[in-house]
Amino acid sequence: MAHSTPLRLLAAALLAGAALAATAQDNKVLNLYSARHYQTDEALYANFTKATGIKINRIDADDAGVLNRLKAEGAASPADVVLLVDAARLTKAESEGLFQPVNSAVLQARIPAHLRDNADGGGPQWFGFSTRARIVVYNKATVQPADVDSYQKLADPKNKGKVCTRSGSHPYNLTLFGAMLQHLGPQATEAWLKGLVDNMARAPKGGDTDQIKAAASGECQIALTNSYYLARLMRSTKPEDVEVVSKIGFVFPNQQSWGTHVNISGGALAKHAKNRAEAVAFLEYLAGDEAQRYFADGNNEWPAVASVKLNNPALEAMGTFKVDTLPIADAGRNQAQVQQMLDRVGFK
Ligand code: FE
């Protein structure tokens, strides 16, 4: 049994008081709906809680799951912050009224204008926190890089029977095609999409990694993929992945013109957020140097804040490139028009 001297009692009372204060602080929470599931994100959230005392309750789902849940919950939704992948999904969620504007000098200063929402009225409704490039992978034995160094060339008749891609209706492609629509206009874009269909080695199926593997195996020769899928294979030590990487080359398209299309992982303030101040603090935290590093590195992406440097061997090996600075929001908002074109040209 411990002897309770007055000093000990005082110390115990002080400790109890400190514990109460800590509990009051711990009551600050924020509810995060996230479509990101990377191990490094755990450290990201823990560091935020350590720095601010704000506890994060996380609900994980895939992108469609997050959006369906937000819609079903409506005004009763406990969501404060929403993390989604791809500008097509972010612009769609915005148009469905699931977000609200955020007026933050920190976010405006840190996140480049082309990587955030640019809609009129009250400030941006979402911000990109990491970037991924939509690149071209090719079979080194049969394709010259000069044959595929622009998105337009993928539709060139000389590449007939060589191209493979995931579904045209996938957000990654909808946003890329939406960017093409901004650059080329409707007629040329639809003709380009028709040319892509004419050049396909097979009907669209699978994800981006499947396309890379098909280009390596010779099932097709030329594939569109997000950069992080290639980076993941480049960092893999599995013999079958090493074999795939040995057979392929890649290019950052459109280096001689407007630059390579980059998409984003992004975040937004939920329409019915109850913990608004905490949510904005978290979004601002994601734009900080350390968080930028974790957020990007977790999925082999580049930080949205360009001055933040990663220590990622695969991205280092890929090198630097000219980025298309067309507002990604404009590309995302073209998705309905793009889908109509895809239907007309028979792009599945
Ligand atoms: Fe992906």
Q: What is the pLDDT of residue 37?
A: 82
Q: pLDDT by residue (tens digit) across 109-128? A: 999 999 999 988 889 999 99
**Rounded mean pLDDT of 226-243?**
98
Dist. CA 55 → ligand 1 center (Å): 28
- pLDDT above 90: residue 11: no
- pLDDT above 90: residue 251: yes
Residue 78, burial from CB neighbour count under 10 angstroms (0-12, 13-18, 19+): middle
Q: pLDDT by residue (tens digit) across 152-200? A: 999 999 999 999 999 999 999 999 999 999 999 999 999 999 999 999 9
Q: What is the pLDDT of residue 4?
A: 42
Q: What is the pLDDT of residue 39?
A: 83
- DSSP assigned state of 257: T
Dist. CA 210 → ligand 1 center (Å): 12
Dist. CA 208 → ligand 1 center (Å): 8
pLDDT band at 27 (very low <50, low <70, confident <90, very high): confident
Dist. CA 85 → ligand 1 center (Å): 8
Q: pLDDT by residue (tens digit) across 290-334? A: 999 999 999 999 999 999 999 999 999 999 999 999 999 999 999
Task: Tell me the pairing of strands 302-303 and 29-34.
Answer: unpaired
- pLDDT above 80: residue 59: yes
Dist. CA 25 → ligand 1 center (Å): 37
**Rounded mean pLDDT of 207-217?**
98
Distance in angstroms (rounded) separating the CA atoms of residues 201 and 214: 10
182: left (phi over 0), alpha (psi -120 to 50) or beta: alpha
Q: What angle do CA 110, 116, 122 make, to 5 degrees?
A: 95
Dist. CA 209 → ligand 1 center (Å): 9
Dist. CA 12 → ligand 1 center (Å): 52
Dist. CA 301 → ligand 1 center (Å): 11
Dist. CA 201 → ligand 1 center (Å): 22
Q: 40 or 54: whose pLDDT is higher?
A: 54
Q: What is the pLDDT of residue 26?
A: 56
pLDDT band at 15 (very low <50, low <70, confident <90, very high): very low
Dist. CA 302 → ligand 1 center (Å): 14
Quote the tokens at residue 121: 């009225």
Q: pLDDT by residue (tens digit) across 65-81? A: 999 999 999 999 999 99
**Ranges of H-type helices in the chain:** 6-26, 39-52, 63-73, 87-95, 105-110, 171-184, 186-198, 208-217, 227-235, 239-247, 276-286, 289-297, 313-318, 328-333, 335-345
Dist. CA 119 → ligand 1 center (Å): 25
Dist. CA 300 → ligand 1 center (Å): 11
Share of the chain above pLDDT 70, in %: 93
Dist. CA 220 → ligand 1 center (Å): 21
The answer to whether 203 touches 145, Cβ cutoff 8 Å, is: no
Distance in angstroms (rounded) separating the CA atoms of residues 215 and 213: 5
pTM equals 0.92
Residue whose entry in the numeric block shows the structure tokens 């148009």: 95
Residue 128, burial from CB neighbour count under 10 angstroms (0-12, 13-18, 19+): buried
Distances (CA, A) of 236 to 6, 135, 214, 231, 233: 62, 19, 17, 9, 5
Q: What is the pLDDT of residue 122?
A: 86
Give the chain's domains with CATH numbers. Answer: 26-129+265-308 (3.40.190.10), 132-261+327-345 (3.40.190.10)
The answer to whether 91 touches 329, Cβ cutoff 8 Å, is: yes
Average pLDDT, the chain: 93
- pLDDT above 80: residue 6: no
Dist. CA 264 → ligand 1 center (Å): 10
Dist. CA 36 → ligand 1 center (Å): 10
Q: What is the pLDDT of residue 248?
A: 98
